[in-house]
């Protein structure tokens, strides 16, 4: 299936709206809130890229997006952008997009070059969950930084929190358990394990920041 462009209006929803108008029937109530949001278009794109080829990754991504959506009252005006980034943060693993080995860079390049997506959305995907550390390990840190400016910490910490408190199957898990699972899955010598070990203090700080922010606004 060819994904619809992320930047433009969603053709399928336009058709639905035209049909609804033509017979004077309002759109389904359950769809009103998310109709044509950046997050809803990001969800469709992520589904098209991941669901069939990487079903476990798709389960994880759905969980990360659910975490982001649950934080919407805390995030205010950034809620739609951050949920969109949650949907898209792992698309760089998709067959055809994975070229450099650094999925954050591959995903962000696809969003920038093919989808002509919002610049901040591309930057969030490029730098999600301390990607710069893995970029250093892969010798790609300069390229990542030149192509995509880092994002403000108050945005990046939210995506880190959502990613690192979601298991590979999409369940809510403590950050420490998720970090241990990554070490176990890749093995202690793997570049990804080494990167996550180096990133752990920053990741745990981001998790704490978001939990404090959520507690303050409760």
Report yes or no: 125 and 108 within 8 Å, Cβ to Cβ.
yes
Based on its alpha-carbon atoms, the radius of gyration of the chain, rounded to whole angstroms, reads 18
Q: Which is nearer to Fe ion, 43 or 163 (CB)?
A: 163
Crossing angle of the two packed helices 153-164 and 79-88, in degrees rounded to 10: 50
- Measured in degrees and rounded to the nearest 5, phi and psi for residue 96 equal 95, -25
163 binds Fe ion (CB under 5 A): yes
80 binds Fe ion (CB under 5 A): no
How many residues line the site for Fe ion (CB under 5 A)? Answer: 2
Q: Which is nearer to Fe ion, 8 or 101 (CB)?
A: 101
Structure-derived torsion over alpha carbons of residues 134, 135, 139, 143, reported in degrees to the nearest 10 = 180
Span from 24-32, 95-103, 155-163, 199-207 in contact with Fe ion (CB under 5 A): 155-163
106 binds Fe ion (CB under 5 A): no
> Which residue of 90, 106, 118, 134 would you call a contact of Fe ion, by CB under 5 A?
90
Span from 4-12, 86-94, 146-154, 172-180 in contact with Fe ion (CB under 5 A): 86-94
Report yes or no: 36 and 10 within 8 Å, Cβ to Cβ.
yes
Of 196, 191, 201, 157, nearest in space to 180 by CA: 196
| Least distance from Fe ion to the Cβ atom of residue 218, Å | 26
Span from 67-75, 84-92, 140-148, 200-208 in contact with Fe ion (CB under 5 A): 84-92
Looking at beta carbons, which residue is closest to Fe ion?
163
Buried-state track 98-131, b at ≥16 Cβ within 10 A, e below 16: eeeebbbbbbbbbbbeebebbebbbbbbbbbbbb
Q: Which is nearer to Fe ion, 78 or 163 (CB)?
A: 163
| Least distance from Fe ion to the Cβ atom of residue 196, Å | 12
Span from 13-21, 112-120, 161-169, 179-187 in contact with Fe ion (CB under 5 A): 161-169
Binding interface with Fe ion (CB under 5 A): 90, 163
């Amino acid at each position: 299936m060819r994904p619809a462009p992320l930047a433009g209006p969603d053709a399928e929803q336009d058709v639905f709206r035209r049909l609804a108008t033509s017979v004077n029937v309002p759109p389904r109530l359950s769809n009103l809130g998310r109709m044509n949001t950046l997050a809803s278009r990001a969800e469709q794109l992520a589904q098209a890229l991941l669901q069939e080829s990487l079903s476990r990754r798709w389960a994880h991504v759905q969980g990360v997006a659910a975490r982001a959506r649950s934080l919407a009252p805390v995030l205010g005006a950034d809620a739609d952008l951050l949920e969109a980034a949650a949907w898209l943060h792992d698309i760089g693993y998709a067959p055809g997009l994975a070229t450099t080995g650094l999925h954050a860079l591959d995903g962000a390049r696809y969003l920038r070059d093919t989808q002509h997506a919002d610049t901040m959305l591309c930057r969030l995907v490029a730098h999600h969950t301390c990607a710069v550390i893995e970029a250093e390990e892969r010798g790609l840190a300069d390229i990542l930084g030149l192509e995509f400016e880092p994002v403000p910490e108050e945005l990046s910490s939210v995506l880190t929190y959502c990613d690192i408190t979601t298991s590979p199957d999409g369940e809510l898990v403590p950050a420490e358990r998720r970090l241990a699972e990554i070490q176990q899955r890749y093995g202690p010598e793997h570049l990804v394990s080494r990167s996550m070990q180096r990133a752990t203090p920053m990741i745990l700080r981001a998790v704490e920041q978001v939990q404090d922010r959520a507690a303050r606004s409760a």
